[in-house]
Structure 1
Amino acid sequence: MRLKIAHLTHYRFAEPAIYGLQQIRLVPKTRRGQSVEDWNVTFEGGFEQVHFIDQFNNHTLLIGLEEGTSELVIRAEGTVLTQDENGIVGQHGGWTPLWLYRRKTDLTRPGSAIQAICDRVGTGYENDVARLHALMGVIAETVSYETGTTGVATTAEEAAVSGRGVCQDHTQIFVTCARVIGFPARYVSGYLMMDDRVQQDASHAWAEAYVEGLGWVGFDVSNAISPDARYVAVATGLDYLDAAPVSGLSFGSAQQGLEVSVQVQQQQQQQ
């Protein structure tokens, strides 16, 4: 597929900002199943301080707020070519060692609710992929998709206890459980083209687990499938905080409003 993506983030501040810094992860990865044809990130009300590739191979940009600005507009847009690889990303690479993806973080620390999900999955499957698909199914049955019930600080255990959440929570629960049952796992943020619309609800999140012989394999609990050609991976990490599209702080102002718009549509392949 040839996917055209436009992502707008618009902050409004109650008072002019004295100082602020935003960390941006909005450049899609080039890897198995996807390649970036063109991409551009622009902003109004801020200026680039530095850009770099972080420890998880994410394109990362730090933006400083212009002193006295009352709003910050960030636009990320471009075209990505994708193909269906049945969720298989392939072998591990980069600076971060594979064993680190077994590490517990504050957002992915297991408790009794997580352990109960793992116990329901059990053992005796034909292969590791089948076991991970079973895990995805148990999470989908246990934690219903409900917007407005959790936030960015909600842990996997808290979402599992409440039995409600969104893609971010489904992903962190899967990552936490996969690590408990013995798989390296990571959080993925990116885009999903929903077939019935151009304007998407938001950016998306799913998980990847490392399977011997295959490498990284994706699992989208919220949609109960492995990612296909409609998915575009942007950032990966141990949890949401490592892969958040936009995060930051400001001084001398209070955030008054935030508008986020994500559009993903298929275009004709160029001959």
Structure 2
Amino acid sequence: MRLSVRHSTLYQFDAPMRFVTQSHRLTPASNGCQKVIDWQVSAEGAEFGASFVDGAGDLISTMTLQGPVERITVVVEGTVETSSGDGILRGHREIVSPLVYLEATHATQPNRAMLDLRDLAVGGADGPLDRAHRLAGAVADAIAYTPGATTPQTTAAEALELGQGVCQDHAHTLIALAIAAELPARYVTGYLWTEGGGETAEASHAWAEIHVGRLGWIGFDPANRCCPDERYIRLGSGRDAREAAPIRGVSRGGGGEALDVSVVVAQQ
């Protein structure tokens, strides 16, 4: 499947900033399930620094805009050829040990209720792959996909208690349960193409990957009760949503900012 992406992020500041610096994780890596045909990231008036590939195999680049800065629009445009790998991340070059992803963050710290759900889900499971699938199913059952029910600051424990959330909450909760079950797990950002057939998903999407023995990293998307297939473009990863964020930045100046994001994923 060939997918095209246009992803626009608009920042508007209450007062002009003296300068803005951002770190971008906005360019997907080619692997066994996706091949980048063309891709570019742009922002009018911005200077882009050198790029590098981090230990997790993600391409990181920097962008700086000298002030006064009243607004910034970061535009991502590209085309990717995708195929289904049954959720298995194949041919992705990284040097970080999976054991790094056994450490929970604030967003993925399990509480008693989550440990009870883990025990209920994996009881009688036949090996780590079966445990991973059962945990993903348990998250899908426990948290109803409800846009607007949570915020970017909501933790996995809070989303589970609420019983509602979005893809970020599903991913955080699955990561927490997997780590509690001694399975390395991480947060993944990317894009999802849908036909409008009723899937509970957004074009800009997130899911979790769990490391399962010799199979390596396997993606699980509880929001859609599936493993990533040819409809998905994998962008980047981290221990949680904050670490995996496509854009992270700092600015110098006073006042607040407003953010508007638009994502269009189409099949060519």
* TM-score class, shorter: over 0.9
Q: 1:38-90 deviations in whole A, cap 9, x for unaligned?
A: 11111124322442222322111222232102110101111101101111114
Identity of aligned residues (%): 38
The 3 A distance-change label for structure 1 pair 15 and 92 is closer
State the secondary structure of the residue aligned to 1:5. strand
State the secondary structure of the residue aligned to 2:136. helix
Provide the C-alpha distance between the structure 1 equivalents of 2:31 and 2:123, rounded to a whole number of angstroms.
Answer: 32
1:93 deviates by: 4.8
Who is 2:262 aligned against? 261
Task: Please say if 1:242 is aligned against 2:237.
Answer: no
Who is 1:221 aligned against? 222
Who is 1:40 aligned against? 40
1:92 and 1:215 in contact (8 A); partners too: no
Who is 1:121 aligned against? 121
Read off the aligned partner of 1:242 and give its amino acid letter. E
Provide the C-alpha distance between the structure 2 equivalents of 1:88 and 1:201, rounded to a whole number of angstroms.
Answer: 22
Who is 2:23 aligned against? 23
Who is 1:84 aligned against? 84
RMSD, matched Cα: 1.8
126-135 or 182-191, which moves further after superposition? 126-135
1:171 deviates by: 0.2
Who is 2:12 aligned against? 12
The 3 A distance-change label for structure 1 pair 204 and 181 is same
1:45 and 1:71 in contact (8 A); partners too: no
Q: 1:193-244 deviations in whole A, cap 9, x for unaligned?
A: 01129xx845100011111121111100100001110000000111112211
Provide the C-alpha distance between the structure 2 equivalents of 1:224 and 1:265, rounded to a whole number of angstroms.
Answer: 22
Who is 1:95 aligned against? 95
2:16 and 2:69 in contact (8 A); partners too: yes
TM norm structure 2: 0.92
Read off the aligned partner of 1:87 and give its amino acid letter. G
Unaligned runs of 5+ in 2: none
The 3 A distance-change label for structure 1 pair 253 and 51 is farther
1:11 deviates by: 0.8
1:202 and 1:261 in contact (8 A); partners too: no
Who is 1:230 aligned against? 231
Task: Please say if 1:204 is aligned against 2:205.
Answer: yes
Read off the aligned partner of 1:248 and give its amino acid letter. G
Read off the aligned partner of 1:145 and give its amino acid letter. Y
Who is 2:195 aligned against? 195
179-188 or 143-152, which moves further after superposition? 143-152
1:253 deviates by: 4.0
Provide the C-alpha distance between the structure 1 equivalents of 2:43 and 2:256, rounded to a whole number of angstroms.
Answer: 17
1:11 and 1:255 in contact (8 A); partners too: no
Who is 1:131 aligned against? 131
Who is 1:3 aligned against? 3
1:256 deviates by: 4.2
Who is 2:162 aligned against? 162
TM norm structure 1: 0.91
1:7 and 1:75 in contact (8 A); partners too: yes
State the secondary structure of the residue aligned to 1:108. coil
1:51 and 1:61 in contact (8 A); partners too: yes
Give the number of equivalent residue pairs: 265
Provide the C-alpha distance between the structure 2 equivalents of 1:82 and 1:262, rounded to a whole number of angstroms.
Answer: 18
Provide the C-alpha distance between the structure 1 equivalents of 2:92 and 2:109, rounded to a whole number of angstroms.
Answer: 23
1:264 deviates by: 0.7
1:92 and 1:216 in contact (8 A); partners too: no
1:122 deviates by: 2.6
The 3 A distance-change label for structure 1 pair 92 and 127 is farther
Read off the aligned partner of 1:176 and give its amino acid letter. A
Q: 1:161-216 deviations in whole A, cap 9, x for unaligned?
A: 2222110110011011111112111111000001129xx84510001111112111
Unaligned runs of 5+ in 1: none
